Structure 1
Amino acid sequence: MQNHREPQGTATRQIILLGSTGSIGTQALDVIDAARQDDGSPRFEVLALSAGGTNQELLARQAVRFRPQAVGIAAGNASGFKEMLDGVADAAGVRCYHPQILVGADASTRIAGWKDTSDRREAGGRAAGTGHAQVGAVVVLNGITGSIGLAPTLAALKSGALLALANKESLIVGGQLVKDAAGPGQLVPVDSEHSALAQCLRSGSAAEVDRLILTASGGPFRGMGREQLAQVTPAQALKHPTWAMGPMVTTNSATLVNKGLELIEAHLLFDIPLNRIDVVVHPQSVVHSMVQFTDGSTIAQCSPPDMRLPIALGLGWPDRVPGAAKSCDWTKAASWTFEPLDAAAFPAVDLAKDAAQRASTFPAVYNAANEEAVHAFHAGRIGFLNIVDTIEEVLSEHSAHSQLTLESVLDAEQWARTRSIERLALISR
């Protein structure tokens, strides 16, 4: 990764936020709302928003609060959302706000490539009436969950925007396809672990890096063996000890599939061989990841668990956003512990490493099979251990596509989903 750098305090960055009503999106808007430059002007402004459409009222409130030029929803209809938006605007006393509304499965992809259509550059201020400094670079924050974020990721990269990537799945399933689309320094990680690695890597050159060390909380089932894991429930899987996340990511943390995905992501982001990336369990989630250098030094990034810090760094990269999150309190005693990963009880990480080693569409199959199995688990059709077992079985049947394209990735995903559903149906009988 190379650093894009622009003088601080001279430009307000425009933000395109994908997945605005989710956990990442709502926290990103908190960061945007609070961030100010030295002269008190906004550090960021929202150019466009998109969401899936399951919480349109929240999306309407966000749009009225931040007044983006465009709003996208994957599910719903434009007239219905416009009526809701007008009602929220009237209640807030906002007049003459009429953003462009995009509806459909490709709404986030179209929003990802959105271009500023206002006359603010000539007028020197915001069209909605809140003037500020010259508009700076565009940053697309992809906070969508799942591999449906791949097309928006490619659209953002094609637009030339800086891509702050919280949607790890799009890089994992897209692999070299995404890497080839990204220009130098265009891709910035927002996952807490990869943001930590990016920060630690500033401490030395690429040739000086020995190993990357990803930390894992261990999830709610840390310390359990396979016999105990066979009895856990969906409700228990959603009780993460540290992070508040959506059902898919929280369950992935419980199986450690999430850490497997993050290992693949680290390999792709930083071009470090898979055999030089380790996972260590750190229940306190204060050390977010580490880089070990060739001279024996290990550099760690530490902060209380709060996603607003990596989100803010992704939006402001390579500059930090003052006050984005709280720091560690060094006046109080604290203990941090580290444990080896129990690969026998949690084989998802080794399975991910094998999928990444085989490359091509294997990571896409890993991710798609997992998503289908997680849905079946929460529907009460299968047990907890069946999730990773299904991933392993479907991977064993997969034959890689000869060429990695968006179409081949989508084909492999569809095959994996179909095959997973067939296998899961046999388990649930």
Structure 2
Amino acid sequence: MAPLKILICGSGIAGPATAFWLTRIGCRVTVIEKATEHRHSGQQIDIRGVGVTAMRRMGIEAAVRACLVSEQGTLLVDTTGRRRAFFPVLATGTGDQSITSEFEIMRGDLSRIMYDATKDTTIYRHGVTVKSLEQQQQPQPGNDESGGGVHVVFSDGVQDTFDLVVGCDGMHSATRKLLLGPDAPDAFHGSGAAIAWATVPAEPADTNHFTWCLAPGRRVLGSRMDRPDCLRAYFVASIAGLPADHPLRATLRGGSPAAQRRAWADYFRDAGWHSARFARDIVASPLADDWHACEMGLVKMDAWSRGRVVLLGDAAWCPSPAGWGTSAALAGAYVLAGEMARHCGLGRVGDEPRREGIAAALLAYETALRPFVTKIQNASNTSGNFLPSSRLAISAIELVVSWVRTLRLDRILARLAIGGGIGWELPEYPELGTAEAEEM
């Protein structure tokens, strides 16, 4: 009997991670990506908690450590640049993390590691999207050849049928829209806060800290430095109270990058700290061509699958802005493959794949992972109004944060909120095997 044939939409982090595990248990996997080539780009991300466990089970820890960003910790400054609190990185090796993770890495570097780990066993097709999905007749009991696949029409006219389609194409997933139908409400729920980032020229006084500055008007500035020749500038703003035609909101969806950059520069120019510099550079510097802006929010769905189409990562549960996106994607890929192995008889020499087990595998995947996703989404369930508006409120927050650090309460809070456990442990699937001791 032929191996299970699986299509994965999206080649960021979740897609290749899913391909890694599914090919390991004998599936024939194709990954499609709308970009015309594999993009090893993006800003700084982290791996924490169960994501560290999943990474180690993939056997890529050595490759990840070779690319880590040397960030010393998180620094809070006021609008004059005065230091208010500093939280050092917790390099424990256990998955317990401070705001700055032990495993800080540029998204492009992790993407390249994931691609290198899968390119020899996975078919990658670039410049292609899914035009339509058609669920076929479900298999009859005792006859797993009787149907149940998904007929896919691609944007280039090619048609094919797959046993399973996995949407790993981000918080505004096109796969999710095809799955739910054109009349279904959008599963993405905006928080009323937006974030933007771009690369700007470095200056001699810049440091390799994750530096944040709260500014009046519900605005936040940030910076990170992963290499000495440039700085990554971050902007967070509440958009909940802005009129629909305000440039910051009007350009957020559909506006050109140049128009977005001008709007954000105008909005942040007087925020203090490095705001004038950042506003100038995101408009004038060619380094800022990597500009990205989006509204933060959550993807909430009653179910992550229908028939033989399933969602994973931000497409299914985007937990912005809690910072768990990468780790949840790595965990989700491992759990999905583990349940597929368990219910479809995959990964065992001599066994034939049981296609009739896919439905049970998808249900078990969601049952196992949903408690974790609920926890990280609850940690992210805030609105843009959580950002302080007045100088008095900002001063109060700065005082509280400085006392948290002085009394060393940050380590306790890290364990309770953004640390390693969050009350959920990654299941073990002996069917998958692990490569924790291997090096790429």
Per the TM superposition, whether the score is higher than 0.5 is no
**Interval of TM-score (by shorter of Structure 1 and Structure 2):** under 0.3
Greater relative contact order (CA < 8 Å, ≥ 6 in sequence): 2
Q: TM-score, normalised by structure 1?
A: 0.26
Q: TM-score, normalised by structure 2?
A: 0.26
Name the structure where strand makes up a greater proportion of residues. Answer: 2
Name the structure where helix makes up a greater proportion of residues. Answer: 1
